[in-house]
Structure 1
Amino acid sequence: MMKEKKKSSGSNGSSDVTPKVRHRCCFPCLGPLTFHPHAVGDMVTLSHTHRVAKRSTETFRNGLVFSSRPVKLRERVRVRVEKDVFNWHGSLRVGFTNVSPSRRALPLPCTAIPNLTDTPGHWAAALPESYCRVGSQLDFWVSHDGSIYIMSNSGDKEKLLNGVDLKQPLWALIDIYGQAYSICLLGSEKRGLVSRKSCPAPAPAPAPEPSPTPQYIKPLLLASKDSNLDTESEDMSYLDLRISEDQTCVVCMVSEARITLPCGHRCLCTSCNNKVLQQFGTCPLCRHDISSSSMQRCATSEPRHLLPQHTHAHTHTYG
């Protein structure tokens, strides 16, 4: 399936055009889940393929974000708090809406409660500050009886509210409010006889280069870039400060991408490489075949004398 989306520039810092992407799912997969790229609060910036949302610390509001697609009943949306600030009172508000993010007029309201909840088709509740400390992971979902539940790090399950209209599709909504100002959307899971999870969001195809660089040279360029990074730059709390966004694994977005695939893309960490190889068998960026046989062919033909000599880069190749 091929999709193309365009967007005009705005205050949220997202790119003007979303390139064409391809995606294939099997039954256990719920499909990619990210933040909606256009319907975001005035003070929100999206990054890491629309899975990290950051609100300005200069304000406690204007931090609304929505899921990129409707979620299913009992599909647990999982987020992690990346950064907080104690200048404000209150913290995240979570909930659901049957109003499509694509149909919303901009700018968005400044808060979920009461600006959205006072209008039909919106249900949201405020979370305790203790649930929203840095590193906290939260699951929230809608049950078959129209109730919204939240589960915290400790595994405690709490009912937030009820009365959600289940007759129409529902999108998750989060208000990055108060103390929490940066969150990461980790994906979703629907539990049952067969557990189903959201898959990694398909990454946009790389932009065309004026002078194409040979694929086996790209790891050298990345290693060089790594050595010149500013370690004092502001980055996500769970990432190594030496790893730029371009060098982060495109699946987990946490570990350094150390695996060079047969197609030339260096985009997976060692752990995610094994999972992608078993479940998909294609490069997450270009969908090139990365089956065992193709890796063996790559290993025998890779010009190893061109691999980077910087020991701190820890470049891995198939072989």
Structure 2
Amino acid sequence: MGAQLSSQADTKAPQETLRFHPEAKGAQVRLDAQRCTARRNATFHDGIVFSQRPVLPGERVAVRVVWHEGGWCGGLRVGFTRLDPARVSAPSLPPFVCPDLELQSPTWAAMLPEGCALAGDVVCFWVNRRGRLFVRVNSGPRLLLRKGVLMGAPLWAVMDVYGTTKAIKLLDPTASAFPSTVPRALIDESLQPEATAGEECAICFHHAANTCLVPCGHTHFCSYCALRVFRDLAKCPVCRWEIKAVVPAWGPPILRTGEGLLMQVAN
């Protein structure tokens, strides 16, 4: 794909403030002069961006969602890659980081649960020395997005300004004041509504089944259990399909568009 992997000799990069790489970016991405803000110009894809330097294990990458665009289903993707963006040919970048860039290169990324990256939210993500990718939104709980990131070589942060996420801004995670709110999608289990007969979650058998798994459409789980399954397994317990998103069961109907993107459509 016109890119080269980094060598072990590249690991000692200066720890300068993180910026977006000026050249390695999706066809729809526009950067500001400081390379702190990345905006997707049109459509819902071709929004891949990279950090300009490798990120250390445990180092936090923080971005604020500055523009949330309705009409799409699914938003920001975050992760890490061994691709050196200085050696990436921008026209060769695929439209999506998940799964396209992951299939073409040693890249590990994941989408955030639906509703966890709204305008004003701060998304902080990192990989630990055991190769586990974590994320925290605002002051919410730490979430494990995926395992198996291969360590031992330089890793660059990679983000996909996708779907409902129209623009993001890099922040200094040590100097920025993060919002104290917790996304509703990460609501505590104790706040879940109790179920009436025949409506209980198929996992906990206590809270109301109020979510829909995308794309399979199963609606047997409360939001707390559905997000745990999404985080830990990413497969529907009923049919074993891969889970792409968790959405409210009572929301607008979910349709598949001609472009293959799941989109919410008003009644």
Q: Give the TM-score, by structure 1 length.
A: 0.49
Tell me, yes or no, if the aligned pair for 1:33 and 1:188 is still in contact at 8 Å: no
**Separation (CA, whole Å) in 2 of partners of 1:30 and 1:138:** 21
1:114 aligned partner: 99
Letter in 2 for 1:135: G
The one of 92, 95, 106 equivalent to 2:79 is: 95
**Separation (CA, whole Å) in 1 of partners of 2:173 and 2:158:** 14
Letter in 1 for 2:40: R
The one of 57, 64, 69 equivalent to 1:80 is: 64
**Separation (CA, whole Å) in 2 of partners of 1:169 and 1:78:** 19
**Separation (CA, whole Å) in 2 of partners of 1:92 and 1:129:** 9
**Separation (CA, whole Å) in 2 of partners of 1:44 and 1:177:** 10
Letter in 1 for 2:52: S
Three-state SS of the structure 2 residue aligned to 1:114 is helix
Number of aligned residue pairs = 162
2:134 aligned partner: 149
1:245-283 Cα shifts (integer Å, max 9, x gaps): xxxxxxxxxxxxxxxxxxxxxxxxxxxxxxxxxxxxxxx
Three-state SS of the structure 2 residue aligned to 1:102 is helix
**Separation (CA, whole Å) in 1 of partners of 2:146 and 2:48:** 19
**Separation (CA, whole Å) in 2 of partners of 1:95 and 1:139:** 11
Three-state SS of the structure 1 residue aligned to 2:115 is helix
Three-state SS of the structure 1 residue aligned to 2:53 is coil
**Separation (CA, whole Å) in 1 of partners of 2:150 and 2:105:** 10
Three-state SS of the structure 2 residue aligned to 1:117 is helix
Q: How far has the Cα of 1:119 moved from its partner?
A: 2.5
2:52 aligned partner: 68
Q: Report the CA distance shift for 1:101/1:188 in structure 2 as closer, same or farther (over 3 A).
A: farther
Q: How far has the Cα of 1:153 moved from its partner?
A: 1.1
Unaligned runs of 5+ in 2: 1-13, 177-267
- Structure 1 residue runs of 4+, over 4 Å off? none
The one of 133, 145, 150 equivalent to 1:165 is: 150
**Separation (CA, whole Å) in 1 of partners of 2:148 and 2:104:** 14
1:104 aligned partner: 88
Tell me, yes or no, if the aligned pair for 1:75 and 1:188 is still in contact at 8 Å: no
**Separation (CA, whole Å) in 2 of partners of 1:188 and 1:95:** 16
Letter in 1 for 2:89: A
Counting only pairs closer than 5 Å after superposition, residues 7-46 of structure 1 correspond to structure 2 as: 30-46=15-31
Three-state SS of the structure 1 residue aligned to 2:101 is coil
Tell me, yes or no, if the aligned pair for 2:132 and 2:148 is still in contact at 8 Å: yes
Larger radius of gyration: 1
Three-state SS of the structure 2 residue aligned to 1:75 is coil
Letter in 2 for 1:31: E
**Separation (CA, whole Å) in 2 of partners of 1:162 and 1:119:** 19
Three-state SS of the structure 1 residue aligned to 2:108 is strand
Tell me, yes or no, if the aligned pair for 1:39 and 1:101 is still in contact at 8 Å: yes
2:109 aligned partner: 124
Counting only pairs closer than 5 Å after superposition, residues 139-288 of structure 1 correspond to structure 2 as: 139-189=124-174
Tell me, yes or no, if the aligned pair for 1:39 and 1:104 is still in contact at 8 Å: yes
Pair 1:54 & 2:42 matched: no
**Separation (CA, whole Å) in 2 of partners of 1:136 and 1:48:** 23
Q: How far has the Cα of 1:154 moved from its partner?
A: 2.9
Q: How far has the Cα of 1:185 moved from its partner?
A: 0.4
**Separation (CA, whole Å) in 2 of partners of 1:69 and 1:84:** 27
1:57-87 Cα shifts (integer Å, max 9, x gaps): x300000000010010000100000001112
**Separation (CA, whole Å) in 2 of partners of 1:97 and 1:51:** 19
Letter in 2 for 1:122: T
Q: How far has the Cα of 1:159 moved from its partner?
A: 0.4
Q: Report the CA distance shift for 1:188/1:100 in structure 2 as closer, same or farther (over 3 A).
A: farther
Q: Which moved more, 1:156-165 or 1:114-123?
A: 114-123
Q: How far has the Cα of 1:88 moved from its partner?
A: 1.1
Q: How far has the Cα of 1:131 moved from its partner?
A: 1.2
**Separation (CA, whole Å) in 1 of partners of 2:83 and 2:48:** 14
Three-state SS of the structure 2 residue aligned to 1:183 is strand
Q: How far has the Cα of 1:188 moved from its partner?
A: 4.0
